[in-house]
A and B are shown apart, each in its own frame.
Chain A
Amino acid sequence: KAGVTQTPRYLIKTRGQQVTLSCSPISGHRSVSWYQQTPGQGLQFLFEYFSETQRNKGNFPGRFSGRQFSNSRSEMNVSTLELGDSALYLCASSLFPGNTEAFFGQGTRLTVV
C-alpha cells in the first residue's frame, strides 16, 4: 500500500511568485490536511479537505489556498510568495476528518529567495 506522496520534494521560488504543491493520499483516504513547519513556529495547521470541500481552516492569510479533486488528491497554492513562506509543507491523509490515524508525507521543502 503506497504511502502519502508529496511533489515536488524541493522547490525554490522568488518573492512575489506563486507556487502549487501536490499531495496524493493513501488509497481509500478521503481527508487531506496541510501543515506548515518552520523552526520558529513548529507545525501549524493550514487547512483540511474532505470530499472536495474545505472542512477546517487554520489562521493563515488568504494567499494560502487549496483544493481537493474527486480522486482525493489535493493541491495547495501560495500566491505572492514572501520570504517568511519558506518552510516544509506537509500533508497528512486519513480516512475522515479528525481521525487520529493520520499519515504524513515526506513534505515539500519550499525556499523563497
Chain B
Amino acid sequence: GQQLNQSPQSMFIQEGEDVSMNCTSSSIFNTWLWYKQDPGEGPVLLIALYKAGELTSNGRLTAQFGITRKDSFLNISASIPSDVGIYFCAGLARSGGSNYKLTFGKGTLLTVNP
C-alpha cells in the first residue's frame, strides 16, 4: 500500500529560525496537502498543492509539489511560538470517479523555544 515517509519526526528550534520538513513516497500522488494539528484539536489544512512542480505560499509557509509527484516539502520562515504543533503531510491519489485514497505521514512535532 501507499506509505509516506515524513521527516524529521521532531524538531526543536529557536524563535526566528526557519524550518523545513518533507515527505517522500514510492507512489505518485495527484495532490499534496499539509496540515497542522494543535493539542486537543483536529488537523487544519495549511496548503494544498495540485500540480507537479507547484510552489505555493501561505504567509510564512511555503510548500512545493515535487516534480516526480512523489515528494513534497514545507518550509516555515521566521518561526514564532504559535507555530508549535504537529505538521502532517498527506498525499491524495485519485483512481477515477469519486474514488480516491488519502494517505497521511506520521507527522513532524515542532517545538519553538521563545
Contacts and interface: CB of A to CB of B under 8 A. Distances in A.
Nearest to B49: A100
A104 B42 contact: yes
Contacts of B88: 42-43
Interface string B86-100: 001010101000111
Interface in B1-50: 1, 31, 33, 40-45, 48
Interface stretch (A14-22, A76-84, A89-97): A89-97
A104 B86 CA distance: 15
Interface residues of B, number: 24
Contact of A100 (B45, B103, B106): B45
B40 A43 contact: no
> Per DSSP, are chain A's interface residues mostly helix, strand or loop, or mixed?
strand
Specify which of B45, B90, B102 lies most central, judged by the most chain A CB atoms within 10 Å of its CB: B102
B92 A104 contact: no
Contacts of A105: 42
Contacts of B31: 100
**Size class of the contact patch on chain A:** 20 to 34
A100 B104 contact: no
Interface of B: 1, 31, 33, 40-45, 48, 88, 90, 92, 94, 98-107
30 contacts: A33-B102, A42-B88, A42-B104, A42-B107, A43-B43, A43-B88, A43-B104, A44-B104, A45-B101, A45-B102, A50-B98, A55-B99, A56-B98, A56-B99, A56-B100, A59-B1, A96-B98, A98-B92, A98-B98, A98-B100, A98-B102, A100-B31, A100-B92, A101-B45, A101-B48, A104-B41, A104-B44, A106-B40, A107-B41, A107-B42
Among all A-B residue pairs, the 9 with the closest Cβ atoms: A104-B42, A43-B104, A98-B100, A97-B98, A42-B106, A100-B48, A104-B43, A90-B42, A105-B42
